Amino acid sequence: MHRSKVRIVEDALDANNTIARANRDDFDRAGVSVVNLMSAPGAGKTALLERALTGLAEDGVRVGVLEGDVAGSFDADRMADLHVPVTQLNTEKGFGGECHLDANMVRTALGALPLAELDLLIIENVGNLVCPAEFHVGADARIMVCSVTEGEDKPLKYPLMFRACELVIVNKIDLLPHLEYDIDRLEDNIAKANPDATTMRVSARTGEGIDTFRRWLIEVPTRTKAMA
């Protein structure tokens, strides 16, 4: 039973990769760079975007958001307040309550995305440190957000997620004075899991470090075109 179970998972990942490539081709044709944003529940992905996306159009980057959630549209409603195009994708309805976005779910949403009007699409994945890292959706870059309230051991306990991302954002640093938390140990552990990852310390609440993150986001389309 175990052997057949693993086979199903591998077949599913192969099928997913095929659809992810089709998504990528469609994004490329539309000239849209795509970022897959992942984290544990409550690490602050939405608050980070609220801080970073405001006024991005003035910097010459037209940004849209695809919100993935099991249920509800709480994050999409928050994003819509920023006057950026937002599309909600719920994994509960029709997808069986999935704990991640896969390429097919994103493909289902393509028609609802105003790709012609965008330079950068941010896909906010379901809050989960395991499966979202296993499913490509067709993105150019992958970012994870890791909060300082979550413990320094997370890169060792969830290594695939940390390995899968080019950028690791360490959020909620405004809480450091109130925690027994060794942020250097966290960054050592990130480097053990993924020596190539860029890390940034930010606070979505106070705005500290957000400028650095915004510059990184602004450069995604440039980097993508340089690689193409």
- Tell whether residue 180 is a contact of a copy of itself (CB under 8 A): yes
Q: Going by C-beta distance under 8 Å and a sequence separation of 6 or more, which residues neighbour residue 52?
A: 210, 213, 214, 217
The answer to the question of residue 112 lying near a copy of itself (CB under 8 A) is no
The residue (of 20 and 120) whose beta carbon lies closer to a copy of itself is 20
Q: Which is nearer to a copy of itself, 140 or 150 (CB)?
A: 150
How far apart CA 192 and CA 130 sit, in angstroms, is: 18
Q: Is 184 in the site for a copy of itself (CB under 8 A)?
A: no
Q: Is 126 in the site for a copy of itself (CB under 8 A)?
A: yes
140 contacts a copy of itself (rule: CB under 8 A): no
Question: Which CA distances in Å does 195 have to 63, 83, 161?
Answer: 29, 37, 13
Alpha-carbon distance of 226 to 222, in angstroms, equals: 6
Give DSSP secondary structure letters for 85-153. Answer: -EEEEESSTTT-S-SS--HHHHHHHGGGS-GGG-SEEEEE--S-SSGGGG---S-SEEEEEEETTS-TT
The verdict on 80 binding a copy of itself (CB under 8 A) reads: no
Q: Which stretch binds a copy of itself (CB under 8 A): 49-57, 91-99, 114-122, 196-204?
A: 91-99
Site string for a copy of itself, 25-64 (x = CB under 8 A): ---------------xxx----------------------
H helix or E strand, kind and range, residue 66: strand 63-69
Q: Which of 29, 55, 58, 94 binds a copy of itself (CB under 8 A)?
A: 94
17 makes contact with a copy of itself (CB under 8 A): no
Pick from 186, 185, 212: which is nearest to 51 by CA? 212
List the one residue from 149, 198, 199, 212 that touches a copy of itself (CB under 8 A): 149
Q: According to the 3-state scheme, what is the secondary structure of 161-216?
A: HHHHCCEEEEECHHHHHHCCCCHHHHHHHHHHHCCCCEEEECCCCCCCCHHHHHHH
According to CB under 8 A, which one of 22, 80, 131, 200 is a site residue for a copy of itself? 131
Rule CB under 8 A: say whether 127 interacts with a copy of itself: yes
Residues that bind a copy of itself (CB under 8 A): 1-2, 5-6, 8-9, 12, 15, 40-42, 69-72, 74, 94-99, 104, 126-131, 134, 147, 149-151, 153-154, 156-160, 172, 175, 178-180, 205
